[in-house]
Structure 1
Amino acid sequence: MRIFPILAAIAMAAFLYMAILERPTLLAFFGAGEEEKAEAANETPVAAPISAEKRVKVVVERLNAQSIDSAVVLRGQTAAARQVDVKAETSAIVVSEPLRKGAKVETGQIMCRLDEGTRRAALEQARAQLAEAKSRVPEAQARVQEAQARLEEAKINQNASSRLNEGGFASTTRLASSDAAVATAEAGVSSAQSGLSAAQSGIEAAQAAVAGAQTELDRLVIEAPFGGLLESDTAELGSLLQAGALCGTIIQLDPIKLVGFIPETQVNRVQVGAMAGARLAAGGGEVRGKVTFISRSADPQTRTFLTEIEVPNPDLKIRDGQTAEILIASEGADAHLVPQSALTLNDEGTLGMRLVDDNNIVDFRAVEIIRDTSKGVWVTGLPMQANVIVVGQEYVVEGVEVDPTFREVTQ
């Protein structure tokens, strides 16, 4: 009765043989598809193109370049055109009433007057010494003339003695005596000229003494070097000012300067003489002026360049040290207004934007920001017409194909 297990084993072996080794024939017998036949025969089917469903979907805006008036935006502050601490150059007691802070002073106006003491007497003494030195000059000049006359007389006698000696009418002793007289006369001329030089030197020394005494006297009157406003009270009456002590501080606010620092990436866009404007903080209003200075040396810490803008301030409303947002005009440029969120970085860390070409392939373009606005940022570096990815740019890389959805640009 073992026939049935044997038949069951034979049937199972036949089924496994057909299912494993003759599977294609079995599938063909039951009408399987071509793909199943290829799979049954361990054949690899031909890869089909990537379907649109598998592409990354992105949102794209078609942007056109616009010509804009470019401007360099800086943060800075106002600064006085001039500010100086007027100090004493000599020591003396203040004998003038003080000027109070905030007072307006003109060029040459007396700020502090100091006590003369004996300085006036010293000046008169120096002048007297000068007069005495000048009086010695005519006497010295007369001595020079007298010495020169004696020299001429000695030379004449020497010449006569020489001729007489040659003719045998004068002795050699007489000739030697005349030669000695000439030498003595020459020495007298030299001495007289030295006396004249000493007299002239005395005049110069006396003149220097007069100038020094006059300068010391002039230092007693401290004047304003330029017109402006007093930032401090001048020295109080009766106070002792030493050399170098402060008399008062003057500040000039018309014109006033706007001071800012330009980044090294934008310094070449600014020129001396360019128009500039600024918005002052705390309701200070808007002002306009021209660039008067751009530093040639960068700050070693910030790598920025100092720039100064001169602004009229006739009513003195602008104060020293006010914060200002400065805009300096530069040459116009073709730029695109793009959403700030569309900016991205490539693998090298370059700031730019990802675009889509006509074949829906992603491309990366480096850009430069030239202005920031409430509607977006103005950038350069894109083609005149650019399909910019504004949503999904962080999920694609250069060279891949995407599924773009174009969005209308809202102005």
Structure 2
Amino acid sequence: MRIFPILAAIVVSVLMYMAIFERDKLLGRTGDVAVSTATATDGVTDNSPALTGTPAPSQIAQQELVKVVVLRSTARQLDSAVIVRGQTAAARTVDVASETSAVVTSPPLRKGANVVAGETLCALDLGTRGAAKSEAEARLAEAKSRVPEAESRVAEAQARLDETLIKLNAAEKLGQGGFSSTTQLATAQAAVASARASLSSAEAGLNAAKAGIEAADAAVAGAEAEINRLTLTAPFDGLLESDTAELGSLLQKGSLCARVIQLDPIKLVGFVPETEVDRVTLGAPAQARLAAGNREIIGQVSFISRASDPSTRTFRIEIDVPNADLSIRDGQTAEIAISSAGVDAHLLPQSALTLNDDGTLGVRVIDDADVVGFVPIELIRDTPQGIWVMGLPHVSNVIVLGQEYVTAGVTVAPTYREVTQ
């Protein structure tokens, strides 16, 4: 059995015991020796904190306070805006389609060409439609020629009726005086009935002639409309989004001749959440940044939907933007900012935001006595310089560093940072 390792272990244990459990006594003895040495050297006994190294009570209280960095923020008027993402859309888009079946006889116009309202896009073959129109016009003329004959028959039948009525009247008076027989009276009455029947027949013939005119006139109008359908024109000034139908191709009823779009003015279409839609008004100025090239454009709100999208609960808005040079295309992505009423807001660094025990978003502030408080805030806008918030007093001392180490009601030692907003 080796004795030296055992003795070494005992010595180490004693030293560790003295260093841990008897440390205060060792330090006290060392301090006493230092004080005695100082007394013997100077000849003066001084028990002041400066000589013993013990801080004053006020210094101890100051050292125990948590140090924080505070920003003295003053609210500023911020032009609030509703931010939505959307896209550009043509003001009008029309598919010009054929209303009849015929062969194209005009050379095609190529996509991208500018067209004006009324310009011919597709001309179709006339075929037999011209002959059909001539036939309808001939029938109309014939129907019109029958009207005078029918009118003369009516006039003749009316004259006969008047004559028979006079004879009937005379027969009735003669019969009352005993100068006419019953047979003559009956004959006069029969003649009146026959004349009335003839008049009815003549009037029916006149009505038939007039109906023939209307039918023939409708046939002529139908033939003219069919001929007019052979020329397909641009409904408005715009651009061709597709080639027009090729020369010699057969267009059926409903076949596409060309697609025309109008890009001036162009629309910005976005969808606003139901929590923000009340802040948008008709005619409000709006600014948008296109994804392509970061180009900024300006327009005005022209439409706000009264019905929300059933799946997203958002409301469609449209903004008219001038586009005289047609440089803005249909379907470009845009970030839209719609102006609304201004608000008083503070610009704070994002790091100043924190949560209280209830999970409410806010910031910690201090009052004139350097006591910490918590104020809930509402986010307005996020910018590279910081975040704009509402809910704070006009002038607020906001803790921007160290807010996570203090709670409401605690007194802190603040260091104020220069306001950079």
TM-score (norm 2): 0.80
Cα displacement (A) at 1:406: 4.4
Report what 2:410 is aligned to: 401
Match of 1:9 in 2: none
1:237 aligned to which of 247, 255, 264: 247
Deviation at 1:210, TM superposition (A): 1.0
Partner of 1:84: 94
Q: Measure how far apart 1:68 and its partner are.
A: 2.1
Q: Secondary structure in 1 aligned to 2:91?
A: strand
Q: 1:347 to 1:259 in 2, by over 3 A?
A: farther
Structure 1 distance, partners of 2:406, 2:209, is 98
Specify the SS of the correspondent of 1:170.
coil
Q: Find the residue that maps to 2:326 and give its secondary structure.
A: coil
Which ranges of 4 or more aligned residues in structure 1 deviate by more than 6 Å? 51-56
Aligned equivalents of 2:359, 2:213: Cα separation in 1:
79
- CA distance, structure 2, for counterparts of residue 53 and residue 142 of structure 1: 127
* Pairing 1:364-379 to 2, within 5 Å after superposition: 364-367=375-378, 369-379=379-389
- Residue 302 (structure 2) pairs with residue 292 (structure 1): yes
Answer yes or no: is 1:363 the counterpart of 2:394.
Answer: no
Alignment equivalent of 1:123, drawn from 108, 117, 133? 133
The CA deviation at 1:157 is 1.1
- Give the conservation status (yes or no) of the 8 Å contact 2:284–2:340: yes
Contact persistence 1:63–1:386 (CA under 8 A): yes
Task: Specify whether residues 178 and 351 from structure 1 end up closer, same or farther in structure 2 by C-alpha distance, changes over 3 A only.
Answer: farther
Runs of at least 5 residues in structure 1 that lack an aligned partner in the other structure: 1-50
* TM alignment of 1:4-403, pairs within 5 A: 58-283=68-293, 285-345=295-355, 350-358=360-368, 360-367=371-378, 369-394=379-404, 400-403=409-412
CA drift at 1:220? 0.7
Structure 1 counterpart SS, 2:269 = strand
Deviation at 1:106, TM superposition (A): 0.8
Letter in 2 for 1:364: V
Distance 1:240 1:347, change over 3 A: farther
CA distance in 2, matches of 1:382, 1:265: 22
186-195 vs 342-351, which moves further? 342-351
Q: Aligned with 1:97: secondary structure?
A: coil
CA displacement at 1:381 relative to structure 2:
2.4
Q: Deviations over 1:227-258 (max 9, x none)?
A: 11111111111111111111011111111111
Task: Give the equivalent residue in structure 1 for 2:15.
Answer: none
Deviations 1:152-184 (A, max 9, x none): 111111111111111111112211221222122
For the 8 Å contact 2:356–2:374, the answer to whether it is kept is: no
Question: In structure 2, the residue corresponding to 1:188 is in which secondary structure?
Answer: helix
8 Å Cα contact 2:240/2:258 also seen in 1:
yes
Distance 1:313 1:249 in 2: 20
1:56 shift after superposition: 6.3
State the aligned residue count: 359
Does structure 2 retain, via aligned residues, the 8 Å contact 1:72–1:370? no
Amino acid at match of 2:376: R
Superposition RMSD on alpha carbons, in Å? 2.2
Separation in 1, partners of 2:64, 2:188: 133
Which amino acid is 1:218 matched to? N
Give the Å deviation of 1:395: 5.6
- How far apart in 2 are the matches of 1:248 and 1:301? 34
The answer on whether the counterparts of 2:377 and 2:389 sit within 8 Å (CA) in structure 1 is no
Return 5+ residue gaps in structure 2 as ranges. Answer: 1-60
Q: CA deviation at 1:186?
A: 1.5
Q: CA–CA distance in 1 between the matches of 2:203 and 2:360?
A: 86
Relative to structure 1, is the Cα distance of residues 284 and 218 closer, same or farther in structure 2, using a 3 angstrom cutoff?
farther
How far apart are 1:57 and its partner, in Å? 5.7
Q: Is the 8 A contact 1:52 1:403 kept in 2?
A: no
CA–CA separation in structure 2 for the residues paired with 1:63 and 1:82: 50
Contact 2:110 2:244 in 1 (8 A): yes
Q: Percent identity?
A: 63
- Is the 2:375–2:391 Cα contact (8 Å) retained in structure 1? no
Is the Cα contact below 8 Å between 1:235 and 1:246 reproduced in 2?
Answer: yes
Q: Return the letter of the residue paired with 1:403.
A: V
Deviation at 1:348, TM superposition (A): 5.9
Q: Is residue 73–residue 371 contact of structure 1 (8 Å, CA) maintained in 2?
A: no
Is the contact between residue 228 and residue 253 of structure 1 (CA under 8 Å) also seen in structure 2? yes
User: Residues 382 and 113 of structure 1: is their aligned pair in 2 closer, same or farther, counting only changes over 3 Å?
Assistant: same
Residues 230-239 or 386-395, more deviating? 386-395
AA partner of residue 238 (structure 2): G
* Post-superposition offset of 1:89: 0.7
Deviation at 1:273, TM superposition (A): 0.7
Contact 1:255–1:312 (8 Å) recurs in 2: yes
CA deviation string 1:4-47 (max 9, x = no partner) = xxxxxxxxxxxxxxxxxxxxxxxxxxxxxxxxxxxxxxxxxxxx
Deviates more, 1:316-325 or 1:113-122: 316-325
Contact 1:57 1:405 in 2 (8 A): yes
Task: Summarize deviations over 1:314-352 as a string: whole Å, max 9, x none.
Answer: 111111112222222222221111222333455665544
User: How big is the shift at 1:55?
Assistant: 6.9
